[in-house]
A and B are shown apart, each in its own frame.
Chain A
Amino acid sequence: MKKYILKRLLTAFFTLLAIILILFILMQLMPGSPFNDEKLKESQKAALYAKYGLDQPIVVQFFRYVLNIFQGDFGVSYKISKNTPISQLIQTRLPVSVMVGGVAVVIGAIVGMLLGLLAALKHDTIWDTLATIISVIGVSVPSYVFALALSYTLGFQLQWFPMLFSTKDMMGSTVLPSVSLSMFTMASIARFTRSEMLEVLGSDYMLLAESKGISGGSLIFRHALRNALIPIITVLAPLIVDLMTGSLVVEKIFSIPGVGSLLVNAIQSNDYNVVISLSFIYSAMYILIMLVVDILYGVIDPRIRLAKKGE
């Protein structure tokens, strides 16, 4: 187990380092980055160069860059909000995104599991067909289409929920974006739960449990669900990433002041420094989630937890 965790940690670390290296190289190449701007006076340029150590060898520069990033210093925004430290921009926006995304993940995971469970337990009935149709649609239709549809019907026409996000009505205005974001997660989890559950239900150990006389809830919860849920944890990580992608557009549609809309704005206004910083934030979050999921998986599945040391 120790070796397993160590391996995951090392992989995560090297991945992060590789990403920083790529970002660093891009930073040097960017035509619009503050370092290469033609409007800057020589003295300003020199000051900037000194500040970021650009007069030093490239390797030293890189280490400085890494050090700065780990200290939370991403530099300043260049176009969106001039000379505001990017860390400050992120600080106010990240919690909003995490909240909307978090609610979406929770809704998606719970509803998806229930749907998948229903489909598997009522295999080959109308319930199964219904759940399958819902999940195929959920997987196939992009989250922002749901966002547009919900925003037009429930927001614009029926006016049940606010069309635009406002900090005054956090609860109400989280509903539509979170629901539209959760659709993909929900559908994927439902599909996965269904197929995992069907496989578990057809397994020999379920037959043995049945032949012991175990039935009903005990059979489903003690034996089936536990075995089916372990692999479901592994799909959560990539799903959260898809959710991040979706959140960019959904945040824009609902005008949510989160990191997603910040990134979209930064892309559209060519604020490279912000784009690169946010890329780092997204990568770091992704790597962290992957790491947590991997370790969680190891803790839950005894086959990994108690694996021999050599593995």
Chain B
Amino acid sequence: MSKKISTAYSDPAPVYVPVDADFRLKDNAGEIAIDTNFASQNFWKDVLVRFFRKGGAVFGLIMIVVITLFAIIGPGMNEYTYSGQELSQKNLAPRVPGLENLGIFDGSETMRTTTGSMKVNNYEDKGLTDTYYWFGSDNFGRDIWTRTWSGARVSLIIAVAAALIDMIIGMSYGLISGYFGGKTDMVMQRILEIANGVPRLVIVTLLLLVLKPGMLTIIFALMLTEWVGMSRIARAEMLKLKEQEFVLASRTLGAGSFFIIFREVLPNIIGPIITQVMFSIPTAIFTEAFLSFVGLGIPVPQCSLGSLISEGFNSFTTHPFQIIPPIIVMALLMLSFNLVADGLREALDPKMKEM
């Protein structure tokens, strides 16, 4: 690479031999006034280019799209419903048409007993020749495929809703605190410090003790935990921007505080805010899963990834296939959001200290 460059300039082949006509003033007075040396590129276009150059971020984005797609269409892809029980068909191992001929996903599982392990196929034992549970069935004979994707749907709705509400509350709090400064800022920051002093675990637990468990309650509880981080970022950005010329100009022109905060400053800090939202989604997914695990989650028969994992845990040594799909989907989802957030952060704020 480097060699090619050095020859390219030191040995320009063929060497141009100047003729007399070349020694004329170019008269480029019109041109030089224009700054053409740097190609001016749209900021967001730059961000996109940098983002898509990162393999991890692109992988994350694709995974999020795929999982979201399955969360939408997955439950409708077979004849089962998320709450339909068929007790005669409980604890069946995964069986997929086509793949079963290859010796995998053929509905057999290895049972461990005190005398050793043996391979059983409950489909055959029960004579279910035409029944397929792609991810297997659970303790109540419910289809795990359908439940996994409707669980993913619930988890995604909760996480995205919580993150968005966080964003609005935290952002407004931070922007107002940073913009007005002085006493307002002092009081608001002390309140924030105290709020931050209470562990999230405690807030969420207590809240769910008082309120009835359900999707809205969980969203509300999650909302109360993440806004602090968001407001810090918004405040820091505001402090950076509020002394800048375009804000001062707007103020001298008589713009109101509300206008300056939400119309002048907000569009300029949307990058870090989106990044923070991306980071708070996996946290919300995790917290929801944790709540389900301790019994404060979505009430049955509805399910979320967390409650599925919690159910699967009860029989995870005997029927490990029951816990694997929700765990994989959740881990992938959290990983993907983290990857996208990472990629976004670096794309928005490239630390190009390369010279």
- Chain A residues close to B by CB (< 8 Å): 11-12, 14-16, 18-19, 22-23, 26, 29-30, 136-137, 139-142, 144-145, 148, 152, 156, 199, 202, 241, 244-246, 248-249, 252-253, 263-264, 267-268, 272, 275-276, 279, 282-283, 286-287, 290
Contact = CB atoms under 8 A, between A and B. Distances in A.
B327 A29 contact: no
Nearest to A245: B201
B199 A283 contact: yes
Contact of A268 (B202, B294, B331, B339): B294
B197 interface: yes
B209 A14 contact: no
Contacts of B295: 264, 267-268
A264 B197 contact: no
B296 interface: yes
A148 B338 contact: no
B184 interface: no
A282 B353 CA distance: 43
Contacts of A152: 316-317, 320
Contact of B199 (A30, A156, A241): A241
B52 interface: no
Contact of A253 (B209, B313, B342): B313
Please indicate which of the listed interface residues B190, B194, B202, B353 has the most CB atoms of chain A within 10 Å of its own CB. B202
Given A26-B209, A136-B335, A140-B334, A15 B327 contact: no
B200 A140 contact: no
B284 interface: no
Interface residues of B, number: 40
A304 B197 CA distance: 22
A279 B205 contact: yes
Interface stretch (B73-81, B89-97, B285-293): B285-293
B197 A241 contact: no
A14 B290 CA distance: 29
B168 interface: no
A283 B204 CA distance: 13
Nearest to B293: A249
A199 B331 CA distance: 30
Given A152-B316, A241-B201, 17 more contacts: A16-B197, A23-B206, A139-B338, A140-B331, A140-B334, A140-B335, A140-B338, A145-B330, A148-B323, A241-B200, A248-B294, A252-B294, A263-B205, A267-B209, A276-B206, A279-B205, A282-B202
A305 to B, nearest CB: 21
Contacts of B197: 11-12, 15-16, 18-19, 283, 286-287, 290
Contact of A148 (B290, B327, B337): B327
Nearest to A198: B351
16 contacts: A11-B193, A12-B197, A26-B206, A136-B338, A141-B331, A142-B331, A148-B323, A156-B317, A241-B201, A248-B201, A253-B313, A267-B294, A267-B295, A268-B294, A283-B197, A286-B199
Contacts of A11: 190, 193-194, 197
B199 A272 contact: no
Contacts of B337: 140
Interface in B290-340: 290, 293-296, 309, 313, 316-317, 320, 323, 327, 330-331, 334-335, 337-339
A136 B198 CA distance: 27
A249 B342 CA distance: 27
B290 A136 contact: no
B329 to A, nearest CB: 11
A305 B240 CA distance: 26
Contacts of A136: 56, 335, 338-339, 342
A263 B330 CA distance: 24
Contacts of A14: 194
Given A140-B334, A148-B327, A275 B206 contact: yes
Given A140-B334, A248-B290, A30 B209 contact: yes
Contacts of A286: 197-199
